[in-house]
A and B are shown apart, each in its own frame.
Chain A
Amino acid sequence: MNKLILGRYFPGNSFLHRIDPRAKLLAALYFIGLLFFVDYFVGFIWMICFTLLVTKISGVSLSIYLKGIKPLIWLILMSVFFRVIFTVGGTIYFSKGPFAISSYGLLLGFFSFNRFILIIIISTALTLTTKPIDLTDAIDALLKPLRLLGISTAEFSLMLSISLRFIPNLLDETQKVLDAQRARGVVFGEGNLLEQMKKIVPLIIPLFSSSLKRAEEMADVLEVRGYQPSKKRSSFRQLSWRFHDTASLLIMGVLTIGVIILNQFPIIEQWLL
């Protein structure tokens, strides 16, 4: 059960692995936001090229990224299908009632499809090259400005750390309970809905009970050691911002300039319409 790794972290020492998690998180969020400002075909080609470059420098095989797309491919295709058949413009290839397949519809379908795929690939690149614990450190660091509003982020950080710390323990415990239930003859995933539901209750109760008990024990230990949520604390893991982290954010600036320039050139659109 411990082999089940939270997330999809792929150990490595690529350029992307070495970038500070704060820079990666900010850059990924920025990239996703920027995708919504791309207006034309050439802009999407620019974003696709950048995404392919990211997958290349991540040192992770493209097939791993494509696996991330697989669970959502039907949802994406269905959404793109609707986009294509309900958009009319340019050359009409087929038309029946309110439905049509036109050059403009196909182009907008291409835009939607790419937006879905690029969001998935960039989000996957972030989690493939960043350990979950580094990701939570990055969230903690990026939430620090909230302290200016009087919101304590230290408590949030403690909760994040507790959650990640106890996932392996709870995974083991879940496996033990599942095995115990199976030893008693329970077969999970079989029977009608009511039967399946009944089988889940004896699994959930001991997990809840032990989690709450464990939380109380841990709180006692924290209090005995003098932990006070309101006090300022140092961190065991220190994040260090280096030149290539700044450079990675500057690359986002270059990407934005590219989008702004390419948004002036609806080359394919003019040809199609």
Chain B
Amino acid sequence: MEKNIKQQTSRTPVQELAKMGLIAALYIVITLVVAPVGFGPIQFRLSEMFNYLALFHKRYVIAVTLGVVIVNFFSPFGLIDVVVGGLSTFLVLVISRAATKRMKNLKAKMVVMAAIVVVSMFTIAGEIYFISEEPVSFWFMYLTIAGGQVVSMTIGGFIMYFVNKKIDLRK
């Protein structure tokens, strides 16, 4: 059964482009449709797990960035989120790939990536600071967002780890 759902190896640039487009679409759908996993008043965004895809193949760096850009067009801050969110996602994914390049253990790679994503949350807090010009709100937002992101990335990490056991995401 597991072998049946293993994917074939991509051989052409067209296949890569198509996969990037479809995964970006899937990111958008999961963001829009699947309600955040929540416990009480605290909610965690499931689409954060897509960040881990970049560890499996470089195509996902573009795919996830594209998904973030499209979704952010329809976020309340719109264009600012598109630029800041798009650029920071791209950079975080590229940095995570580079930082984990020599690592063999997938779990260790995922932990490193989660740490990079959590640290990178200063971009969102910075966005708020840039608009409000208030340094206290920067640290308040940063700690709040980073705290939520730790949980989101932990949950997302477990889900993506199990998904990778069923589907070879490197192919």
Contact = CB atoms under 8 A, between A and B. Distances in A.
Please indicate which of the listed interface residues B14, B18, B46, B159 has the most CB atoms of chain A within 10 Å of its own CB: B18
Interface in B24-77: 24-26, 28-30, 32-35, 37-39, 46, 62-63, 66-67, 70, 73-74, 76-77
A204 interface: yes
Contacts of A170: 22, 25-26, 29
A216 B17 CA distance: 10
B15 A219 contact: yes
By secondary structure, the B interface counts as helix
A155 B78 contact: no
A235 B131 CA distance: 38
A115 B129 CA distance: 12
A261 interface: no
B17 A158 contact: yes
A29 interface: yes
A146 to B, nearest CB: 14
Contact of A197 (B15, B23, B158, B167): B158
A161 interface: yes
Given A8-B74, A200-B46, A209 B132 contact: no
B77 A215 contact: no
Interface residues of B, number: 58
Nearest to B162: A201
A214 B74 CA distance: 26
A4 B32 contact: yes
Given A7-B74, A201-B162, A223-B12, 14 more contacts: A72-B77, A79-B132, A82-B136, A83-B132, A83-B134, A86-B134, A108-B133, A123-B80, A162-B24, A166-B25, A170-B26, A200-B159, A208-B163, A213-B7
Interface of B: 5, 7-8, 10, 12-15, 17-26, 28-30, 32-35, 37-39, 46, 62-63, 66-67, 70, 73-74, 76-80, 128, 131-134, 136-137, 140-141, 155, 158-159, 162-163, 166-167, 169
20 contacts: A4-B33, A8-B74, A28-B79, A86-B134, A86-B136, A119-B79, A119-B131, A123-B76, A123-B79, A136-B70, A159-B21, A159-B24, A166-B21, A189-B38, A193-B39, A197-B158, A201-B159, A205-B167, A207-B26, A229-B13
Interface of A: 1, 4, 6-8, 28-29, 32, 68-69, 71-72, 75, 78-80, 82-83, 86, 108, 112, 115-116, 119-120, 122-124, 126-127, 132, 135-136, 155-156, 158-167, 170-171, 174-175, 178, 188-189, 192-193, 196-197, 200-201, 203-205, 207-209, 211-216, 218-219, 222-223, 227, 229
